[in-house]
Structure 1
Amino acid sequence: MMAEEAASPALLKDILGTSALETIADAGATASARFDRPTLLRSAADGLDALSIMERVRHIAGALHTALRWSYPEALDVIRAMAPHLTHAFQAMAVTEYVARYGLDDFDRSMDVLAELTRFGSAEFAIRPFLAADTPRALVTMMRWTDSEDEHVRRLASEGARPRLPWAARVPALKADPTLASPILEALRTDASLYVRKSVANHLNDIAKDRPDWLLDRLAGWSQDNPRTGWIVRHALRTLIKQGEPRALALIGVGHGAAATVLRFAIVPETVCLGDSISIAAELVSDSRDDQRLVVDYRIHYARAAGKTAPKVFKFKTFELAANETVTMMIAQTIRDFSTRRHYPGRHRVELIVNGQTMAEAAFDLVPG
């Protein structure tokens, strides 16, 4: 959802459009004959068009509050009964947001309900107010979730406590000490579910941005004999690996720098317009009598306004280079705007990075179409 290939904001917010409101209203009416379906539809539709996707989530939660005109415990029973009738994760997120906004005074019951609802649409955002209100209390509950038989609940334990969870409100205690949830990560480091392991790796990668030395020390103590743990370590270190951090490279069995020569590094075509694609080609030959593991990335220095540049590293290839072997690599990339990146005309330098060291450079020019 946060990847560059994600839907545009205009399409994304339409996920919670008129038809979604009808589905949520129908779910409420199915859950309880007392549910005020007309009030929900009227309140949720009011001002909806101007809102972004996450603003719609919060807006619909407020509309649910107007339609659930009884005590919070009774409303929770309706919320729980609604969830199986929803048809999209974002609809379920609006329901979990109701718990986040109105359930803090019933802390333990609300946390239990979020664990139940998370399989319908992740409650990772809804858990944040509970973490902010009482971090130790919330983390104790989330630690218990690591023993759940449900992979969605185990994932929530990790994902909900991420220090830099995208789109989510920051939790002051986690911002001050992003390692507070580390016991949860320890408990999940051999989890059987890839869904959970991805969250653990992303959580650790968040920590790498603020406490890299802590992360490197911690992961150095994790045995990678278990392939599940090894997978987490490799993905958790991706930011530090892109930065060429020697300890991070060592943890995945890669030396800093490579005994290799770049025979060719080229960008084709060298002049493009927005929307065009470039091909990046590299040819390397081993200078070693031994096999070696190579992590090859490339860094594009995007032209910006006023002659400035903004670098971004992309993965190229990770592989074993045999003694005296020559290897050719090629990757294509389309030059187009995203919500997170706007392109500017000008020279774009591209560096080839092998095991953390820049070994070659090329460039392409972006010109007005």
Structure 2
Amino acid sequence: MTDDMASPALLKDILGRQALTVIADAGAAASPRFDRAAFLDAASTGLDALSIMERVRHIADALRVALPADYAEAVTIVRAMAPRLTHGFQAVAVTEFVARHGLGDVGLSMEALADLTRFGTAEFAIRPFLARDAAWTLAMMLAWSGHEDEHVRRLASEGSRPRLPWAGRVPALKVDPTLATPILEALKRDPSAYVRKSVANHLNDIAKDRPDWLVDRLATWPTDDARTVWIIRHALRTLIKQGDPRALALIGVGHGAAVEVSGFSVVPRTVRLGDAITIAADVRSTAAEAQRLVVDYRLHYARAGGKSAAKVFKLRTFDLGPGETVALAIRQTIKDFSTRRHHPGTHDVELIVNGQTMARAAFELLAG
């Protein structure tokens, strides 16, 4: 879930009344024991006021009203519904039925989640099982890391992330975010980029709580395998943005660089919400040998009361030969997201080369 997601209103519409009809039709087609009218009545009541994840849970509870009381029979119908759905979030809502009503039969529920994740990720639905018995559930997920289906293998990594976006924190993973290490080790050479991306995101979660552990662990991973090299680079992205010397060293980058920066600018200097800025600079090598450079920029967002909040953005990673100069430029639109609201005021911008600030500029965001 990133800043580039749609607005909250659009996200809510994914599980709007049209989606309820699709789910109701899927239930009716899956079994004559599915009460279509009862589902629509329960799911529609109070829907408009709910956020996207609140709707996921609301729909799951509405399914309880429409399905047989026997959980085994109900989950069989739920599994038959999933292939008939038309959007991944519909499947997430249906899968949530297992999370909310299947804790009493964990064996059957695990089997269902491994099946349902193929249609809409079960990464949220697995969290209550982890919260209830982390050791048992992680052991099951470790077994999934050898599954033939990439969606199930990804669930093993994604569902056990310590800081999974939009999901509740699992107490055991909050205490020790490294508990799923055997799963990550099993998946570090996975043939699926879909799975490897999840492994990298999982490791990046760990970096926020155990940076030294992460660097120590990744230092033992093979660097002659393109799959593990990709994961290492993406898993270290938070530490690289922070200029961590050990993280930079793991990707073959020194801390700091022998360069001169000229012409660093942010234009226009004055903007309104919705306008775009261009950040540009020339970087010249002063070294006698080629250097690998990681160039980022840190934008200090103005906040109410004269405060600011910084966010680091990737700009470019490249090799620069002795005496060479490269022109860098990036364009960014200043607009609100569901996770960020802009405030009028001065926004400072830093250019960061190999973890060190090399130049500064600023722009002014006007009100209105």
Q: Normalising to structure 2: TM-score of the pair?
A: 0.99
1:223 offset after TM fit, Å?
A: 1.0
In the other structure, the counterpart of 1:357 is 356
Counterpart residue number, 1:293: 292
SS in 2 for 1:104: coil
Aligned to 1:308: 307
Deviation at 1:76, TM superposition (A): 1.2
Listed as ranges, the matches of 1:257-296 within 5 Å are 257-296=256-295
Residue 28 of structure 1 pairs with residue 27 of structure 2: yes
Pairwise mapping of residues 149-168 of structure 1 onto structure 2 (< 5 A)?
Answer: 149-168=148-167
Distance 1:340 1:70 in 2: 40
User: Aligned-pair distance for 1:323?
Assistant: 1.5
SS in 1 for 2:294: strand
Which 4+ runs in 1 deviate beyond 4 A?
A: none
Distance 1:340 1:77 in 2: 38
CA distance in 2, matches of 1:99, 1:261: 58
CA distance in 2, matches of 1:344, 1:25: 43
Shift in Å, 1:367: 1.2
Using the TM superposition, give the Cα deviation of residue 70 of structure 1 relative to its aligned residue in structure 2, in angstroms.
3.0
**Match runs of 1:1-369 below 5 Å:** 2-369=1-368
Q: Which runs of 5+ in 2 are unaligned?
A: none
Residue identity in the other structure for 1:246: P
Query: How far has the Cα of 1:256 moved from its partner?
Result: 0.2
Name the CA distance, whole Å, in 2 between partners of 1:37 and 1:150. 32
Aligned equivalents of 1:344 and 1:275: distance in 2? 13
Cα-Cα RMSD: 0.7
Equivalents in 2 of 1:164, 1:198: separation in Å?
Answer: 15
Which deviates the most, 339-348 or 308-317? 339-348
TM-score scaled by length of structure 1? 0.99
Residue 192 of structure 1 aligns to a residue in which SS?
A: coil
Structure 1 SS opposite 2:189: coil
Q: Counterparts of 1:53 and 1:194 in 2: how far apart (Å)?
A: 27
Query: Identity rate of aligned residues, in percent?
Result: 70
Q: Which amino acid aligns with 1:176?
A: V
Distance 1:343 1:80 in 2: 43
**C-alpha displacement of 1:354:** 0.1
1:227 maps to a residue whose letter is A
CA distance in 1, matches of 2:12, 2:68: 28
CA separation in 2, counterparts of 1:237 and 1:211?
12
| Amino acid corresponding to residue 37 of structure 2 in structure 1 | P
CA distance in 1, matches of 2:73, 2:228: 43
The one-letter amino acid paired with 2:12 is K
Instruction: Quote the Cα distance in structure 1 between the aligned partners of 2:2 and 2:281.
Output: 25
* Contact 2:344-2:367 within 8 A present in 1 as well: yes
Task: Tell me the secondary structure at the aligned position of residue 105 of structure 1.
Answer: coil
Aligned length: 368
Cα separation, 2, equivalents of 1:18 and 1:344: 35
Match of 1:244, SS state, is: coil
1: distance between equivalents of 2:367 and 2:49? 32
Name the amino acid aligned to 1:172: P
- Give, in whole Å, the separation in 2 of the partners of 1:246 and 1:289: 22
After superposing the two structures, state which structure 1 stretch, 73-82 or 119-128, moved more: 73-82
Question: Residue type matched to 1:196 in 2?
Answer: V
- Offset of residue 69 of structure 1: 2.4
Q: Is 2:3–2:340's contact at 8 Å kept on the other side of the alignment? A: no
